[in-house]
Structure 1
């Protein structure tokens, strides 16, 4: 599965529209409560049509009279609709899948009280049918203590064991690695479709005597070893019941299954340990802004964790010479990257070099970029840095703003006098003649730092508001600032 989409109608579980892409065989979906993580898992489990001989995992939370009758999951298994609930009329669900080397779109639309497949014009009428694929959904209920499940106690107290699914020798080795102690045997025993884990690690014991984390790992390994090549495993809250080291080792094992068995695994997690244990391509952060939902890919651990905590912390610190340059950088990168960075003005160009070297000495774990004014040269920057670092090998990241040898204020005034005059007019809501008059008045100031003050005097704006209008008219779209945007993007996306 490459992508899933929700759109149209009333939305689903309060999500009017969202697009979630999967870029890696193992995907960790994270985010605050209520942003749609469980919705993504449920839709993932509905993405394909399991073969007729496949029996999906059902767990112990819902005892069944016919435990082997269910071969697939249905919409109501994940999205229960009580009587009187708002209609789903117009809701459209899309899955983008790779099937035998071809990308296909499966689209379902809720119309006239039922789900209908949406045909793809110009393709064979069966092209929109779900391809066959083995799927397992493993819910949080896997960590429920066996001793607290009345149906499980009754079944294993009264009836004989009907079936046993032992872990293979290889899976027992993985179990020992994850839990950090040796096992010689582990299996799941079944009575009327209800499963009870048992294991031998020095002594033999069952799920009635083991913690939820240990039992959940046995469940996961049992299902993973049974999953055919190319299958999909969907796991709710992967870290439940496991300490940090076990979480790291479990993720390592899941990655091995993805590689060796070509499985796709999609999990949810709130654990910093789990998020940090996978590459950026494996991370999807779900966010909600008012009524809108967003799926961010390739996020850093720091950004994801602090987003969930409600206190976003910067992944990148940008140093500039003064507040004007800081404002220029801020306006140049307005958008999704902005919450991921902090900008600080520190003083002169030599002070900026001193701060960049000090940052590497004192806080190397936080990435930093020093942005020099356009009246500096590469040779000057290297000289300042060399004087600060001495003989130590410290190479701070740096970049020089555009300017052709001029400071930012003078460069911006030159652009406003040329092809960016119309944008300046739009910012001030004035005529071109009035804009030209403002630019001329600012340009004849002896000190270019006074340009914002001059515009404030002529328009009645606050000085900072006037400076921001000067900057915004140019910075949002000027191609000379593309290297700055690209460098920031590269630093944010680097592993």
Structure 2
């Protein structure tokens, strides 16, 4: 799997230091609450980072959240002459011969300057009310219809002729954004423009001396050109919303696109909200920028924040069918869970999966949903030892964080055995451990600090694994191991095995 986009550190730094200043994000949509629309019953979705990706199965509500966000503002005069639009909830949630939309409400929390304030638009019966009171902000929305079926292309030839004859609106892609397009698609473009007429749009690109319209472009090239033209139009502090941001792009291009979006969000102080089904998109973002929408068997919607890529994929993919799914917080906890089971009930491994879910809040949400019977199959959360009890969750032994429990729980003999497993001198390992302890409040980096003092070929993962194995087997009483694994496997049906 790939890592975070290289543009993330600068954006994260600016967000941490300048988010509340005029140099930062003085206009920011902090949350939207949807009630009475498409199965939503008052759940709130928070946006906690300038670039946020929303994942979830089809029908989980991703598009509803994007459209609700797009309806949060009225047009800002500063965006006149751009591709920005003012959207009404009726544009997205209309009453039709098959659906009646009434008793609906969208509630927003938006930052305007130094303060945040709530407001809402509502449709009790026939009309949406509260529309004039919405704050002003440039909003750009690129929905999935940009990947157009072939029959919608009919008329593009006539549009091209009309443009040549009457000079209809044409937006030229400048050199800076041609560079963005070139980097995403790994191809050098000489020029580009977007021609619009009668609600039709044609992208025209030139590369290697050849000019061609989107009728002759690949779907990914067409969709990316439209997006780049939109981004070029977006004034500072705009809200940019993109449905299925990865549309028609291969994995490397998806990663490059996210790198460019993050860079533009940092440079122009944009707020960008995207939906995705792609692991490559999610991998480029930090935990606070990822959220997953789920709909349980009773139709209740749930929002999971800080979701890992592994959690998002497990909630969207049915290819693997373990009898039991255990959700834990991170890789260190994942290894501990596996080893506890290996030493206590190794036969059960083939019947379960251990998935990294992210922060404790995500694990607790999943545990609660499982405890209430709102998830299919057998699911349990596994919390680190520094967490309190929570419904549907077991707690790793130790009474504190995994790092503290393992490293501080090793006796002198324990460190000697770990040194033997790693093939290093006991004194060198103890010195490395004392080096790590100099920052006691940062136990999450103790393994890395131990590795700094050992030979380069000793991987960080080897240090953690050796320490865990010794702690579990030689430091913990057998009854503690058995009780913990018993908690994990209590709902797993027994099986009979032939001798």
TM-score tier, shorter chain, comes to 0.5 to 0.7
Alignment of 1:272-421 (within 5 A): 272-290=279-297, 291-310=299-318, 311=320, 316-317=334-335, 318=337, 319-320=339-340, 322=344, 335-336=364-365, 377-391=410-424, 393=458, 394-396=462-464, 407=477
For residue 198 of structure 1, what is the aligned residue in structure 2?
A: 204
Q: 1:2 aligns to what?
A: 30
Per-residue CA distance 1:238-279 (angstroms, 9 max, x = gap): 111111111111111101110010001111111111111222
| Counterpart selection for 1:251 from 258, 261, 275 | 258
The separation in 2 between residues aligned to 1:259 and 1:376, in whole angstroms, is: 44
**Distance in 2 (alpha carbons) for counterparts of 1:164 and 1:116:** 36
Aligned length: 363
- Residue 217 of structure 2 is matched in structure 1 by 210
- The answer to whether the 8 A contact 1:188-1:195 is kept is yes
Give unpaired runs (5+ residues) of structure 2.
Answer: 1-28, 350-359, 368-378, 384-400, 425-456, 492-499
State the SS of the aligned residue for 1:336. helix
CA contact (8 A) 1:49 1:72 kept: yes
8 Å CA contact 2:52–2:274 kept in 1: the answer is yes
Q: Is the 8 A contact 1:46 1:73 kept in 2?
A: yes
Match of 2:134 in 1: 130
| Structure 2 residue 116 is the aligned partner of structure 1 residue 103 | yes
> Equivalents in 1 of 2:123, 2:77: separation in Å?
26
Aligned to 1:24: 49
Shift in Å, 1:95: 0.9
Matched, 1:78 2:78: no
Q: In 2, Cα distance between the equivalents of 1:103 and 1:210?
A: 44
Alignment match of 1:144 (pick from 130, 141, 148): 148
Query: For residues 147-186 of structure 1, what are the structure 2 equivalents within 5 Å?
Result: 148-158=152-162, 160=165, 161-186=167-192
In the aligned structure 2, how far is the partner of 1:408 from the partner of 1:57? Answer: 68
Tell me, yes or no, if the aligned pair for 1:56 and 1:135 is still in contact at 8 Å. no
CA contact (8 A) 1:25 1:258 kept: yes
TM-score w.r.t. structure 1 length? 0.64
CA contact (8 A) 2:34 2:41 kept: yes
1:47 is matched with 72
**TM-fit CA distance, 1:28:** 0.8
* Alignment TM-score, normalising by the size of structure 2: 0.64
Aligned residue for 2:390? none
Question: What does residue range 213-232 of structure 1 map to in structure 2 within 5 Å?
Answer: 213-232=220-239
Task: Quickly say closer, same or farther: Cα 1:380–1:35, change in 2 above 3 A.
Answer: farther
Which deviates further from its counterpart, 388-397 or 303-312?
388-397
User: Take 1:380 and 1:106, find their aligned partners in 2: how far apart are those partners?
Assistant: 63
SS at structure 1 position matched to 2:129: strand
- SS for the counterpart of 2:221 is helix
Structure with the greater alpha carbon radius of gyration: 1
Structural mapping, 1:28-39, within 5 Å = 28-39=53-64
User: Counterpart in 2 of 1:485?
Assistant: none
Please state whether the residue corresponding to 2:261 is helix, strand or coil: helix
Query: In the TM superposition, what is the alpha-carbon distance from 1:230 to its structure 2 partner?
Result: 0.2
For residues 56 and 235 of structure 1, what CA distance do their matches in structure 2 show? 20
* Structure-2 change in CA distance of 1:213 and 1:340 (3 Å): farther
Asked if the contact 2:73–2:86 (Cα under 8 Å) also holds between the matched residues in 1, the reply is no
Distance 2:263 2:403 in 1: 40
How many Å separate the matches in 2 of 1:187 and 1:274?
27
What is residue 353 of structure 1 aligned with on the other side? none
Offset, 1:167? 0.6
In structure 2, distance between residues paired with 1:38 and 1:406: 49
Cα contact 1:55–1:72 (8 A) shared by 2: no
**What residue is the counterpart of 2:448 in the other structure?**
none
Corresponding residue of 1:414: none
Per-residue CA deviations over 1:108-141 (Å, capped at 9, x if unaligned) read 33324433349xxxxxxx9xx3211000111112
CA contact (8 A) 1:155 1:191 kept: yes
